Amino acid sequence: MTSSPDTQAPRPAEDASPLSGYTVVDLTRALAGPHAGMMLGDLGARVIKVETPGHGDDTRNWGPPFVGPEDDKQATYFLSCNRNKESIALDLKSEDGKEVLTKLVERADVLLENFRTGVLDRLGFSMSRLLEINPRLVVLSITGFGHDGPEGGRAGYDQIAQGEAGLMSLTGSGPDDPQRVGVPIADLLSGMYGAFGVVSALLQRERTGRGQIVRTSLIAAIVGVHAFQGTRATVAGEVPRAAGNHHPSIAPYGLFHCADGAVQISVGSQGLWNRLCTRFDLDPETPGFENNPARVANRPALIETIEKAFSTYQSEELLAILADAGVPAGKVRSLDEVYAWDQVEAQKLIVDVEHPVLGDIRLPGPPLRFFGADQAGEHETTREKHNTPPLLNQHEEAIRSWLGLSTDVGTSTVDDGALDNGETDSGTIEQGPGSNG
């Protein structure tokens, strides 16, 4: 899968990342689209982030927490989803902004956008126009509720999508306690699905020579991960409800209290059930516990029985015993414990970058690793050096020079109407806007 020569951006010759040589123009802001762009950047693509002059991506102002000097505070929210990108500020309602964007589209392999339906059309960059400028372009378009249908133009915000698409009804301590997931999961999933769609479209482009439009939405992303809960509804005719920290179809599978806290166990087979019972002197054939359907039906009594057996053990001792018995188990870690965990370090899930304001910082890293193999064995080809999330307009001169445009054009500070907040449904709320932010 290679870019045509006229669309390739300069990349180091030694860069063997999967998307090395591809160029992505990222018009998105907030989280869903930026997360997709960051994933493509992690894979080696050159990602050029187009931001509003004077204001930038909304997440530059989402906090606390902010870090850094008083006169140049940086939002940790922005840092979470914009590594491996360059930044240029363009007023897309100005002639200069339109010219620069046109030149970027001509050279790009991918364009990402998460405006409300119709905004790009009004700016003069409809989908047909984009593909006219560059027939090989792959466009990823993310909305809140989809591009069509009776609610296709509805604004998209993560927590609203979690509720509307049913996820909150499955999450919480019980049916009367709907809870959102602790991260903006609709935003993140739509970004992940979007990045997957982009790579698939690039692969198809190798066969057809033409680009295409990839569309997803916050509700599509949530419905896409309903998994067995979805088929419970569509096939079995059941209405799944929140069941707290216990699996609705497998038992025992969940969080169980012990002397100093809790551990989690996953008993996914009859063999594991027998091992658990043997180690803690329980009868695996106890009436009501003899098989998985019976244990699910009698979950309250099962939980009481297991927690009684665990009650005299400290959590670390209990985890050691469960490991020795071959029963899958684990602890519930806080995030500071996660980032101090040697296994996380070993899996390269933390990356070190040098920020122009903050200096050396550590960021949560990409979840994919790549390996080649030859007669000498496996060798890792994963991207090793990552770039810090950019300052606003940090790369304007370099990008304009690459496009063959004058670098003397100053980027004027404009009000938030440059990429109108009303057009993008921007707003600072707890979980933040999703695709339309």
Number of residues assigned to the chain:
437
Interatomic CA distance for residues 395 and 88, integer angstroms? 6
Q: How many CA atoms lie within 13 A of 31 on its CB side?
A: 26
State how far the Cα of 8 lies from the Cα of 20, in Å rounded to an integer.
9
Q: What is the DSSP string of 58-89?
A: GGGG--S-EES-GGG-EEHHHHTS-TT-EEEE
Q: For the CA atoms of 376, 377, 382, 385, what is the dihedral angle to 10 degrees?
A: -40
Distance CA 331, CA 18 (A): 35
What angle (nearest 5°) sits at the alpha carbon of residue 160, between those of residues 159 and 163?
Answer: 90
Long-range contacts of the stretch 127-131 (C-beta < 8 A, 24+): 127/213, 130/105, 131/211, 131/213
187 among known catalytic residues: yes
Q: How many CB atoms within 10 Å of residue 307? A: 15
- Counting other chains too, the contacts that 323-329 makes at CB distance below 8 Å and 24 or more residues apart are 324/279, 325/275, 325/276, 325/278, 325/279, 326/272, 326/275, 327/265, 327/267, 327/272, 327/275, 327/276, 327/279, 328/265, 328/266, 328/267, 328/268, 328/272, 329/263, 329/264, 329/265, 329/266
Burial track 105-136 (b if 16+ CB lie within 10 A, e otherwise): bebbbbbbbbbbbebbeebebebeebbebbeb
Q: How far apart are CA 82 and CA 36, in angstroms?
A: 10
Q: Which of 58, 109, 187, 425 is catalytic?
A: 187
CB contact at 8 A, 32 and 145: no
Taking the alpha carbons at both ends of the chain, their separation in whole angstroms is 32
Question: Taking the C-alpha atoms of 396, 397, 398 and 404 in order, what is their torsion angle to the nearest 10 degrees?
Answer: 110
- R_g over Cα of the chain: 25
User: Active-site positions?
Assistant: 187
